[in-house]
Structure 1
């Protein structure tokens, strides 16, 4: 038998499937701890409750349990000592006094390729047990400059390959998967996180404070904590505490949070700033920013100054708490070639149209721009398409869904010319639109799409996820209420289908129409007569979820479930939240 931390080594050693060791559960952790701590005799009732807490603190890692068990075995078995150990499990396991344990933990890090080491060390800056969003993590790696460019691949694709490599080395854990098996959140074991933090200090990975909070309030406050380092729990970062001291020169700060609540003040220049958080409330301040090295996040940003001076800006988040009727993005964002992500979030009824007019002959192609979320009243003109040729994620919203509206003004047919687009989200669209073949995920909210047009959507060769919310659910709708799938080979890559709140009565489909469907979700479908029996014959189907659907839909789902059980498919799930 051969054990290894590397998945590819295990695969290369034999033709049999590899056996993946999971973390121990609480019972097995306690049993292993008892085996190591009590070589003779059993645990006393007085120590059992504390011992189980100690075992749980090891988070299922046998190495940690063995080290702590050996330490307890050499103790005088007093309650006071066990309480001391319970409060310092990680510190004792990773202590330099235990050279064998430290060497074992360091092996994984020391054998990492040089390009993966900074990505792994970065995990030490997140809170303990924090489930990190994969999209946020890989984005951070990109803007921090950790990645080695590979010809033919975007930096985001390289980042995902790095993440996969670290997962296969069992250094990063998968915390959460999406409905189709994609990794949504990840993290590290506490001991590896402690290793990251120790190596970060030893290698001077970051040698300056990582965060500064500044409150531009119109009133004097005695609470000075808003102007010092803080723990930013909103995104999981563990930032230095105030007692660690400050660097006198504010230009050294990498992360900055600024609160604006009705006071205008000029913003200082932080030349090495990488992350800036601006929380804008009812009154927008007059802010002038020109840090030449700003290359991380602004969340949110106020555009009353030349944003184009931030020529290294990669990611732009905007969140407004103002109830202003309209908020326009500046034209200058078209002059920022390093920009990769624009994410807009507004509270209230604010309209956030993207400026698309161009009165200049020469313009910059934003080859790095991959994400636009959420853009109101988006106009997909030819000029826009030329500027964003590598767009991958687009989320757009319109104020109204009337057919009488002049939808030609928005040039939605040009969406099909975004040949790299993988994810599209549209809200309140009253017109048909064209779609690119590259699309993998499509979300439609309150849109008018005749069911006969679903054949066009089904022809998309790469579509894996389709979510339909209140499609054609508008008053005086003349759209049909029947969905028929007569074309074999449609939706040939679709894995996840959600239909919610739609006036659909009859659905006709066979297994050949959704050959790879894994999950079907139906919500608020009180008019639908039944789920097609052919759905139950799809070999890949593993789950049906119903929420507030008609009793006839529930009955048809139960029939499919019973049929799956008769086939011996015990893993098939039927989840019924509530029924009409």
Structure 2
């Protein structure tokens, strides 16, 4: 087997990617001589019939070795531009919406969903080294973002073109497109007029560039107007553009793009815009014709900037939607109370701030897995009890429990899902928001028995007692809470807490970690604790700590004596701290003995004096 392996490596011609991919193929086989011999014979066969007779053929073999269910998953990656950082959650949602991974594969008895199946497919591609992992979740270590190597992407594009899997609009054809016909999927990397597509059978449209090109607009603007804007350095030229007849023309052109899509692509399943949260002009308003797309499974309007702050009620016609992203650029947009009709919804992203004539009814969304930007002002808190499959919940702005009883046990449960693993509460970005009542938070936490991630960015007087927290909690992030009492005595009792990030959460001068505190904590970040002067750590505290980060704690005099007993500490990162603090910790400094056992000590931006 050693000789076989060496011979196969020779065929890779020294290309690291080919060697790694070949290893990925072998890793999926039984570790037997017969299996390795088959792969070796296949490599030789490819080299004999291939034109390049080089490592590219090894990459091609990796595709042909894929089982049938993985091939469309791999080919779908051809949609994304070169060097694009692909968000795994969004990719999986697209796979499910396209039917590449069917929701019919769900097994409700054990809670497994189509998304779980899709994630297992993704991991198979990772193990075969056909995609590169760029970021993992800090708690679960699940893959969050991926990328494709240039050579592997070339293979993906080539195979996708052979199978007419997707039509890519890029620089090579965006300016000279003839009428696009007989195409099911279109991925737009460069702006072009959507009217070029004449195929009524199109199933998906993905945009990776501006929906309406500024360059196209500039070509139609009078030169005098452009010179005026440039000369006077007008902060927002959009105002001047809309104040001219050309601006009206721009609105009409954008309106025409929307209406053309909604009236000609009635079999559309996916309409996605992937340019992040950057503002993107989308015309006067979203036409009500969107209600024609009754087969739509995936709709993302994220980052779009509509001038009319009202979404059409015809959205309620989209009964097949599985993913709906309404995080538009404008705040205070009106959301009609029609989402309750979309009973197939699995992932719902509401705007950060929105209006509605009545509270949104969401209790019918029993298949929901992701709910982002829920708030108790515009939504019914009682609807959460019906979402028995919910995995992730983000609550923003006001969180209040109406008719709350003083005795916590007398209040009905809030969350009905036993699968909820991530809870975030955010309200620090809005002025005038009242602090969260700790009793309300305690009652919410008491019904979240399975969460392993908790993030709170909201003003609170105090943290609930530790027994209200899930015993599964592995990650806690607290930001700008401004507690009246130090929360560390509560946090250090959490039995499975591995990662803790706290930032500007209290104003006390001292912080104390007791001997049995934080038994499984591996990573600790302390930031912007502006009043903290002394930190004490008992011997025996944080026995599993591996990474410690301290930043912007300007009044902290020194690191605690107890750190020298934490032999597991591998990395100490000191950022934006006074030079005197750094000098104490460097070799020869008075506190160096506390950290001399730490293999990696990093100082960053610690050159200023407090005097």
Same fold by TM-score greater than 0.5: yes
CA root-mean-square deviation? 4.9
Among residues 428, 440, 448, which one is paired with 2:458 in the alignment? 428
Show the counterpart of 1:197: 157
Aligned-partner Cα distance in 1 for 2:451–2:558:
34
> Following superposition of structure 1 onto structure 2, how do residues 528-539 of structure 1 map, counting pairs within 5 Å?
528-539=556-567
The aligned counterpart of 1:365 is 386
Residues 563 and 357 of structure 1, relative CA distance in 2, 3 Å threshold: same
Q: How does 1:452-531 map to 2 (within 5 A)?
A: 452-472=486-506, 480-510=508-538, 512-531=540-559
User: 2:298 — aligned with what?
Assistant: 296
Aligned match for 2:327, one of 316, 319, 323:
319
What CA distance in whole angstroms lies between the structure 1 residues aligned with 2:163 and 2:401? 48
Tell me the secondary structure at the aligned position of residue 500 of structure 2.
Answer: strand
Q: Secondary structure at the match of 2:454?
A: strand
Q: 1:386 to 1:185 in 2, by over 3 A?
A: closer
Instruction: Choose which of 480, 493, 497 in structure 2 pairs with 1:446.
Output: 480
Task: Identify if the C-alpha distance between structure 1 residues 448 and 61 changes in structure 2 by more than 3 Å, giving closer, same or farther.
Answer: same
Match in the other structure for 1:74? none
Alignment match, 1:339:
345
Contact 1:228 1:242 in 2 (8 A): no
Residue 398 in structure 1 maps to residue 427 in structure 2: yes
CA displacement at 1:377 relative to structure 2? 1.9
Distance 2:3 2:194 in 1: 41
Deviations 1:20-63 (A, max 9, x none): x9xx9xxxx9xx7xxxxxxxxxxxxxxxxxxxxxxxxx787579
SS for the counterpart of 2:573 is strand
CA 1:61/1:282 → structure 2, altered by over 3 Å: closer, same or farther? same
By how many angstroms is 1:127 displaced? 2.0
Distance 1:480 1:512 in 2: 23
Displacement, 1:436?
2.9
Question: Partner of 2:121 in structure 1?
Answer: 162
Query: Structure 1 residues 307 and 506 mapped into 2: Cα distance closer, same or farther (>3 Å)?
Result: farther
Question: Where does 1:241-280 land on structure 2 (aligned, <5 Å)?
Answer: 246-250=196-200, 252-255=202-205, 267=259, 268-269=262-263, 270-277=266-273, 279=280
Tell me which residue corresponds to 2:222: none
Structure 1 residues 462, 117: closer, same or farther in 2, change over 3 A?
farther
Q: Distance in 1 between matches of 2:477 and 2:114?
A: 25
C-alpha contact 1:441 1:465 (8 A) present in aligned 2:
yes
TM-score, scaled to structure 1: 0.66
TM-score, normalisation: structure 2? 0.63
Q: 1:377 aligns with which of 392, 398, 402?
A: 398
How far does residue 152 in structure 1 lie from its aligned partner after superposition?
A: 3.9
Q: Aligned-pair distance for 1:95?
A: 11
User: CA distance change for structure 1 residues 366 and 577 in 2, over 3 Å: closer, same or farther?
Assistant: same
Contact between 2:515 and 2:537, CA under 8 Å: does it hold in 1? no
- Structure 1 position 110 matched with structure 2 position 110: no
Q: CA deviation at 1:356?
A: 6.1
Question: Aligned equivalents of 1:227 and 1:376: distance in 2?
Answer: 49
Among 111, 122, 125, the residue aligned to 2:76: 122
1:254, distance to aligned residue in structure 2 (A): 0.7
| CA distances 1:470-498 after superposition (whole Å, capped 9, x unpaired) | 213xxxxxx53322122515251443434
Question: Secondary structure of 2:443's partner?
Answer: helix
Other structure's SS at 1:313 match: coil
SS of 1:289's partner is helix
Change in Cα spacing, 1:408 to 1:516, as seen in structure 2 (3 Å) is: closer
Question: Contact 1:343 / 1:372 at 8 angstroms: preserved in 2?
Answer: no
Q: Shift of the alpha carbon at 1:539? A: 3.6
Q: Secondary structure at the match of 2:494?
A: coil
| Cross-structure match for 2:145 | 185
- 2: CA distance, partners of 1:111 / 1:226: 35
Residue equivalent to 2:359: none
Aligned partners of 1:271 and 1:294 also within 8 Å: yes
Picking from 424, 443, 446, the partner of 1:413 is 443
Deviation (angstroms), 1:339: 2.9
Q: Distance in 2 between matches of 1:426 and 1:353?
A: 14
Q: Given the superposition, is the C-alpha separation of residues 514 and 363 from structure 1 closer, same or farther in structure 2, using an over 3 Å criterion?
A: closer
In the alignment, structure 2 segments of 5+ residues that lack a partner are: 22-46, 181-186, 213-247, 274-278, 305-309, 357-372, 403-410
- Map 1:341-356 to 2 at 5 A: 341-344=347-350, 346=352, 353=375
Alignment length (residue pairs): 475
Q: 1:563 to 1:364 in 2, by over 3 A?
A: closer
- Residue 106 of structure 1 aligns to a residue whose secondary structure is helix
Q: CA deviation at 1:274?
A: 0.9
**How far off is 1:244 after superposition?**
12
**SS of equivalent to 1:320:** coil
- The answer to whether the 8 Å contact 1:318/1:344 transfers is yes
> 1:162-201 CA deviation, whole Å, 9 max, x = no partner?
3333222222223345767764432222222222222223
Separation in 2 of the partners of 1:525 and 1:348? 37
1:338·1:368 contact (CA, 8 Å) conserved in 2? no
Secondary structure, in 3 states, of the residue corresponding to 2:66?
Answer: coil
1:457/1:114 CA distance change after superposition, 3 Å? farther
Q: Distance in 2 between matches of 1:408 and 1:262?
A: 48
Q: Quick one: structure 1 residues 405 and 364, their matched pair in 2 at CA, closer, same or farther if it must change by over 3 Å?
A: closer
CA contact (8 A) 1:281 1:321 kept: no
Could you say if the C-alpha distance between residues 557 and 178 of structure 1 is closer, same or farther in structure 2, counting changes exceeding 3 Å? farther
